[in-house]
Amino acid sequence: MIDSTHLPLIGEGPNLRADAVRNRARLLEAAARLAASHGAAAITMESVAAEAGVGKGTVSRRFGDRNGLLQALLDHSEQLFQAAFLSGPPPLGPDADAAARLRAFGPALLRHERAHLDLYLAAEPDPARRFAVPARRVRHTHVAALVRAVLPDADAEVLAHTLLSSVDVVLVDHLVRNHGMSPERVEAGWHDLVDRLVTRG
Amino acid sequence: MIDSTHLPLIGEGPNLRADAVRNRARLLEAAARLAASHGAAAITMESVAAEAGVGKGTVSRRFGDRNGLLQALLDHSEQLFQAAFLSGPPPLGPDADAAARLRAFGPALLRHERAHLDLYLAAEPDPARRFAVPARRVRHTHVAALVRAVLPDADAEVLAHTLLSSVDVVLVDHLVRNHGMSPERVEAGWHDLVDRLVTRG
């Protein structure tokens, strides 16, 4: 179980010298390649060191242990996703109108989490912290702002939780794995929900 | 952590002789009184025995250990709630139309879980089983049937998960405890969501 409570917000993180940043990025890219081809289970301090062509000690000095490495990998992936919806191209980013951004957000989140599924499942926080993790808070703030723009008379804070919960990574994994639901059907469910709300609003 | 995976459906459960049923009910009522006045933490084998005026051995023979006792208490409460929405009076039960029942279901669930909050939080299953527990399946089947009746063109299975997730016990506890949201506001959020969906549908 890795700790996702401290998933940093975008732009946070320790200040590292440029060469340390490059070394760190190189190790994370090696870990990401392993995860993409063999799943998170294939990520060990040894396998990442071998993939990056460095000694195991280099990986240990940078990330401490395997949990630290998985955590860093998840942070990296989360920051890319946050950049996409906060400042990326439309329809996800700020150049699209709020309704289009809201419509695009669910499938983008679903695809992002599907691409990193075993990392996210490994990082699932305990119930008491599930909704307090920074990554969830960033997503909620974003979705609530879009809801507020599209449905000014709705309780945006509550409705944003509903929308996010509808694509909860554990729920979607359950639907896909145990009920044979296609990811496309889950995405269509988000679009249908947003369309019903927005058309009426 | 008690195991809610095997929360029985209504009508399930071991066959007991009438006196055994009465004794069991008496112990559960004693435990429920303790939970109502002092919270689930006050429930121990000793306190329930004392409250029911029996020896600790009687409680142990019936429930095994404290987890077994908490489990039985939650089963009992869940069966009462299931009876209310499956066969109780309107607007929750079958004599109301589907839209009214759907509208009433969320607040009923919210109140039910709030009344037994620490039991439900203690029984929160691990992520992989969160959506597979029988109690969740019964609720989902029920809500999906109502959605199907009210919105024949919607993906009822997906939308029912969305509705249930919007009043997830852990989410609501987070909103009330950490964000100072009133239970009434969460209930209003359910009504608003259902009204927006049904008016459009």
**Could you say which residues from 98 to 157 on chain B have a Cβ atom under 8 Å away from some Cβ of chain A?**
121, 124, 127-128, 130-132, 154-155, 157
**Chain Cα centroid distance, residue B199:** 28
Here the CATH number for the domain that contains residue B135 is: 1.10.357.10
Is B8 part of a structural domain of the chain? no
**ipTM of this predicted structure:** 0.77
Is A169 part of a structural domain of the chain? yes
Q: How many CB atoms lie within 10 A of CB A194?
A: 22
Is A12 part of a structural domain of the chain? no
Instruction: Transcribe chain B into DSSP letters.
Output: ----TTPPPTT-S----HHHHHHHHHHHHHHHHHHHHH-GGG--HHHHHHHHTS-HHHHHHHHSSHHHHHHHHHHHHHHHHHHHHHHSSTTTSTTS-HHHHHHHHHHHHHHHHHHTHHHHHHTPPPGGGTTTSHHHHHHHHHHHHHHHHH-TTS-HHHHHHHHHHHT-HHHHHHHHHHH---HHHHHHHHHHHHHHHHHH-
Segment holding A91, helix H or strand E: none
How many separate domains does chain B show?
1
B37 in reach of chain A (CB within 8 A): no
pLDDT in tens, A131-188: 888 888 999 999 999 999 999 999 999 999 999 999 999 999 999 999 999 999 999 9
pLDDT in tens, A11-46: 445 566 788 888 888 999 999 899 888 888 889 999
Is B5 part of a structural domain of the chain? no
Selected residue of A124, A190, A193, A199 to mutate for chain B interface (largest B Cβ count, 10 A)? A193
Shortest CA distance to A42 belongs to which of A72, A77, A76, A69?
A: A69
Is A79 part of a structural domain of the chain? yes
Is A6 part of a structural domain of the chain? no
Is B61 part of a structural domain of the chain? yes
Shortest CA distance to A117 belongs to which of A83, A72, A160, A168?
A: A168
Selected residue of B133, B167, B196, B199 to mutate for chain A interface (largest A Cβ count, 10 A)? B196
Is A168 part of a structural domain of the chain? yes
**Predicted local confidence at residue A146, as pLDDT:** 97
pLDDT in tens, A51-100: 999 999 999 999 998 888 888 888 888 888 999 999 999 999 999 999 99
Rounded to two decimals, what is the model's pTM? 0.79
B196 in reach of chain A (CB within 8 A): yes
State which residues form the domain around B69: 18-200
Enumerate residue ranges in chain B where pLDDT < 70: 1-16, 200-201
